[in-house]
Chain A
Amino acid sequence: MVSKQTGKTKTSEQTPAVSRLKYKRGDLIIKEGDYGISIYQIIRGRVGLFTESEGTETHLATLGPGEIIGEMTFFSGSSNPRTASARALEDCELEALHPARLSKEYAEMPRMLKYIIDQEFKRIVRMNRVITELDIKKTRKRQLEQKNPWALYRKFYRKEVDFDCVYRPLNTPQRVVLEGRIKDISKGGLRLDISAENMSHFSHQLGDIFFISAFLPTGEHLGVTAELASLVKSRTEEPLSLGMTFVRITEQTNKTLGFFLMP
C-alpha cells in the first residue's frame, strides 16, 4: 500500500520529514560514487535510477510517488558510496527522511532480520551489476551491427533461391574450393548455407574474402567477390549460414543479377 499522506497530516508516530525538496526535470538528486546518508521519499514526479560504466549510462529503474531512493547506502552502512545515481525525469517533489531516527530503528532491529536484509541488499547490488554488464554488451553489439555491412545488405530486396555454388577464399595462399548452397540473393549480397565440414577445410573468419561462382536458375553464370559479414550456426548444427556482401561485381554480372531479381 502506498502512503499518500503529506507531511502535514503525519502523526508523531511517523517519521517527521526534515524537509521538502523540489527538483526540476533533469536534476541530479543522488550521484553515484558520492557519499551521503539522505533517504528520500518521492511525493510527486518520476525519478530514474542509473549507473554509468565505460561511458555507457544504464537505466536501472523508474520510481514514482510513494517509493524511496537512497536507502541502499543506509543498509550498506553510510561509509559506502552511492551505488547508483538518481535523476528527476520530470519536475519532482521529494521528502527527505530522518536518517538519524531510521538509523536508530535499524540498530534496534532484531539481528536475524538484519541478516536477511543485508543479503537482500547484496543481491540488489549484484543484480544491478548484471544489468549494467548486459546493457554495455548490448550497446556494443548494436554499435557493431551498425558498422557491419551485412546489416546494410539485409535492407535490400532479397529473393529466396536454392541453388548450388562453388566458392574459394582469396585472402589465403591455401588453394581450397568449397561447395555451398545459395539460399537468398540481393543486389548487395547473398546468404550461403554450407556444411559444417567446410569449416574443417578452411576457417571461415568474418572479413574473409571469397570468390563465388554459380549458375542462376536462368542458366546464366554468376561470379562475384564477396566478404564474409556474418556467420550463423543453426540450432541443428548443420548447415551453417554465411552472410556475404559483394565487394566486387562486374557490370555484366550486376546487370544479369538485376534482371534475375526483377519481380
Chain B
Amino acid sequence: MSGVSNLVYEYVLSEENYSEAAMIIEEGSHGDSIYVVLKGQVKIQKKTPKGTVAIDTLEEGDVFGEMVFLMKEKTRTASVVANGPVLVGILDSERLAREWESVSPHLRRVTTLMAKKLRDATIKAIALAKG
C-alpha cells in the first residue's frame, strides 16, 4: 500500500528506480524535472565550505525539484540522494507550468516569495549548524 494519493498519480509521467546513495538531483546542475517520492525515502543535501549537510528527509508523497519551478531558479538549489532503494515519479512539468500560468500574477508572487523564504531559512539553518 502506498501513501501517495491519486491526485499525485494523475501527474506522474514516468517512474525511476534508484539504489541506495544514488544521486537523483545534483546541486548546481541544470534541470527542470519535478519529482515525487513514490516508495522509499530521499535525503536533501546541501554543499557547504565545511562539507555536505543533510537538510531534510522526504517520504512517500513528497515533491522535490519544485524550487526551479516556483522560483524560476536556473540551477538546482540542493542535491537529492536516495536514502535506501527508492522509486520516484517524474511529474508532468508542462501541465504544472500551464496551471501555474493560470494562477493570478499576484498569488504567484506571494508563492514565489514564500519559496524564497524556504531557501533563505535553509541557508540560515546551515550557517547556524556549521558556524
| Residues of A near any B CB (own CB < 8 A) | 3, 14-15, 39, 60-61, 67-68, 71-72, 74-75, 97, 102, 105-106, 109-113, 115-117, 119-121, 123-124, 126-128, 130-131, 134-135, 138
Is B50 in contact with chain A by the CB < 8 A criterion?
no
- Closest residue of chain B to A98 (Cβ to Cβ) is B106
Task: Choose among B34, B109, B114 the residue that contacts A121 (Cβ–Cβ < 8 A).
Answer: B114
B78 to chain A, nearest CB (A): 11
Contact call B121/A128, Cβ cutoff below 8 A: yes
Contact call A112/B122, Cβ cutoff below 8 A: no
Inter-chain CA distance A128–B125, complex, in Å, is: 8
Contact call B118/A123, Cβ cutoff below 8 A: yes
Contact call A134/B125, Cβ cutoff below 8 A: yes
Contact call B121/A75, Cβ cutoff below 8 A: no
- For residues 102 through 120 of chain B, which have their beta carbon under 8 Å from a beta carbon of chain A? 102-107, 109-111, 113-115, 117-118, 120
Contact call B103/A120, Cβ cutoff below 8 A: no
Is B99 in contact with chain A by the CB < 8 A criterion?
yes
Chain B interface mostly: helix
Contact call A109/B107, Cβ cutoff below 8 A: yes
Inter-chain CA distance A67–B125, complex, in Å, is: 21
- Closest residue of chain A to B10 (Cβ to Cβ) is A112
Contact call A110/B124, Cβ cutoff below 8 A: no
Contact call A112/B121, Cβ cutoff below 8 A: no
Contact call B114/A112, Cβ cutoff below 8 A: no
Inter-chain CA distance A119–B8, complex, in Å, is: 13
Contact call B110/A102, Cβ cutoff below 8 A: yes
Given contacts A105-B104, A112-B96, contact A117 B111 (CB under 8 A): yes
Contact call A110/B99, Cβ cutoff below 8 A: yes
Contacts of A71 in B (CB 8 A): 110, 113-114
Is B13 in contact with chain A by the CB < 8 A criterion?
no
Stretch of B14-22, B62-70, B81-89 on the interface side: B62-70
Inter-chain CA distance A106–B110, complex, in Å, is: 11
Contact call A127/B121, Cβ cutoff below 8 A: yes
Is B7 in contact with chain A by the CB < 8 A criterion?
yes
Beyond contacts A68-B110, A112-B96, A115-B8: 20 other A-B pairs, Cβ-Cβ < 8 A, are A3-B109, A60-B124, A61-B121, A68-B114, A105-B106, A105-B107, A109-B107, A110-B103, A112-B99, A113-B96, A113-B100, A113-B103, A115-B63, A116-B70, A116-B96, A120-B66, A120-B111, A120-B114, A121-B114, A124-B121
Given contacts A112-B99, A115-B63, contact A60 B121 (CB under 8 A): yes
B104 to chain A, nearest CB (A): 5
Contact call A102/B106, Cβ cutoff below 8 A: yes
Contacts of B56 in A (CB 8 A): 123, 126-127
